[in-house]
Structure 1
Amino acid sequence: MTATALWDYGRGTGVVALVLLTVSVFLGIATRSGKPAPWLPRFAVAAVHRNVSLVATVFLGLHVGLLLFDPYAQLRLFDIVFPFVGNYRPFWQGLGTVALDLLIALVATSLVRHRIGERTWRAVHWAAYALWPTALVHALGNGTDSGAAWFLSLAVICVAAVLGALGWRVATVPSRQKAHV
C-alpha cells in the first residue's frame, strides 16, 4: 500500500458517499410523493431508498475512518464529534461533522423507529433535507478535488437530481394536499 492510499481511498469514499446520499435523498423524495414512480412501485422505491441509505452510511463511515488514520489529513477523533474545531479548513470540515452528526441521528432513530413512533421518527428524518446540502457544501469547500471539472460536473448532477425530484414531488402532489407540502 502506498503512502497516499489512505488519503486516496478517503477521498474516493467521500465522493461515493455523496453520490449515494444524493440517490437516497432522491428516492426519499420520490417515495413521499404519494404517487408511484414510473420506474418502480412505491414499496420497491422505499426498499431501494433504505438500502442505498445503509450503503451511504457505510461509505461515510469509511470516509471518516480512513481520514482519521491518514497522517496527511490529520483528522482527530475530537474533530468528528465537535464541528468547526478542526485543524484544516475548520468551517468546511465542521460542515462534514454536522452532516455526520445528522446521519448518526437519522440512523439511530431509524433503528428505534418502532419504539419512538412514526411522528417522532418523521420529524427527525426531516434532518435529511439539511444533511444532503451540508455534505455537498462540505465536499465543495473541503474536498481536494472540488475544483476539478469532473467533480464540479458530479456536483451539478447531484443538485439537478435532487431539484428534479423536488419538482416532480411538488408537481405530483394532489391539490388537496398541496397546503401540507
Structure 2
Amino acid sequence: MQGRLMTPAELDQALWALGRGAGITALVLLTVAVATGIVTRSGRPLGPWPRFGVSELHRTAALLGTALVGIHLLTLLADPHAQLRLVDFVVPFLGVYRPFWLGLGTLAVDLLAAVVVTSVLRHRLGPRPFRLVHWAAYGLWPIALIHGLGNGTDSGRPWLLAVAALCTCAVAGSVAWRVRRDFVEYDQVRARTTR
C-alpha cells in the first residue's frame, strides 16, 4: 500500500497542531527552567538531588524550551491561517490576528532572544551583565504564559487552564522556597549587618 500526500487542509491542520503543541510544551519546559533556576539560587539542597543536577536540568529545560519556541514560530509562519509575517516575530503588537495576545508572544520571544544571546556570550560579558539580562526571564515567563492563555483556538479550554495552573504553581512554589528565611544570601546579609 502506497502512502498518499496530505491535502492542503490536512497540512494546515498538522501545522496548527504542531505549532500549538510546540508552544505549550515550550511553556512547560520554560516553567521547569525558571523554577529550577530559582531553586538553584536558593543555596539549599533540594532533597536528594545534588545542586549541579538541578542546574543541569535548568540548562537542558531552557535549551529544549528555546528550541520548541523556534518550532512554534516556524510552523505558525508556514500556517496560512495564522497570518503571521516575519515582522510579527520581532516587533510586538503589529499582528493581524489578536494583535495584543500575539504581541505578548513577540515580546516574550524578544526577551528570550536577549537571554539566549547573553547566555552564549556569558564568558565574554562577565557575570554582572549576564545576570542583569538573565533577570529578563522573570518577565519572560509570565508574558509567555499570558500569551498562551489568550492566543490560539484552544485558549480557555480546561486542559490548557490546568497546564497553566500547574506551571504557575511550580513557579510560585520555587519563589516560596527561595524567599524562605534560610536562603543563603539572606544569611550572608544578616551576618554583615550584625558585625
TM over 0.5: yes
Deviations 1:130-161 (A, max 9, x none): 00000000011113212111110111110011
Following TM superposition, by how much is the alpha carbon of 1:39 offset from its aligned partner in structure 2, in angstroms?
3.7
Specify the alignment match of 1:78 in structure 2. 87
The residue identity in structure 2 corresponding to 1:173 is F
2:50 equivalent to 1:41 = yes
Counterpart for residue 158 of structure 1:
167
- More deviation, 58-67/169-178: 169-178
d(CA) in 1 for partners of 2:179, 2:153: 35
**Cα 1:177/1:73, change in 2 over 3 Å:** farther
Question: In structure 2, what residue type is equivalent to 1:51?
Answer: T
Question: Equivalent residue for 1:173?
Answer: 183
> Residues 65, 34 of structure 1: CA spacing in aligned structure 2 closer, same or farther, 3 A cutoff?
same
CA displacement at 1:97 relative to structure 2: 0.3
- The Cα of 1:176 is off from its aligned counterpart by 2.8
Q: Which residue of 1 aligns with 2:155?
A: 146
Question: How does the TM-score come out when normalised to structure 2?
Answer: 0.88
Where does 1:85-164 land on structure 2 (aligned, <5 Å)? Answer: 85-164=94-173
1:60 paired to 2:72: no
Helix, strand or coil at the partner of 2:167? helix
CA distance in 2, matches of 1:38, 1:157: 21
- CA 1:165–1:86 in structure 2 vs 1: closer, same or farther (change >3 Å)? same
Larger Rg: 2
| 2:179 partner SS | helix
Residue 6 of structure 1 pairs with residue 15 of structure 2: yes
Q: Output the CA distance in 2 between the equivalents of 1:16 and 1:47.
A: 19
**One-letter amino acid of the structure 2 residue matched with residue 50 of structure 1:** R
Identity of aligned residues (%): 56
What are the superposed Cα offsets for residues 53-93 of structure 1, whole Å, 9 maximum, x if unpaired?
00000000000110011001011101001000000111110
| Gapped regions of structure 2 (runs ≥ 5) | 1-5, 191-195
- Note closer, same or farther for the CA distance 1:110–1:68 as it changes in structure 2 (3 Å cut): same
Segments of 4+ in structure 1 off by > 3 A? none
Give unpaired runs (5+ residues) of structure 1: none
Rounded to whole Å, the distance in 1 between the matches of 2:149 and 2:138 is 18
Alpha carbons of structure 1 residues 165 and 62: separation in structure 2 relative to 1, 3 Å = same
CA pair 75-120 structure 1, distance change in 2 beyond 3 A: same
- Say how many residue pairs are matched: 179
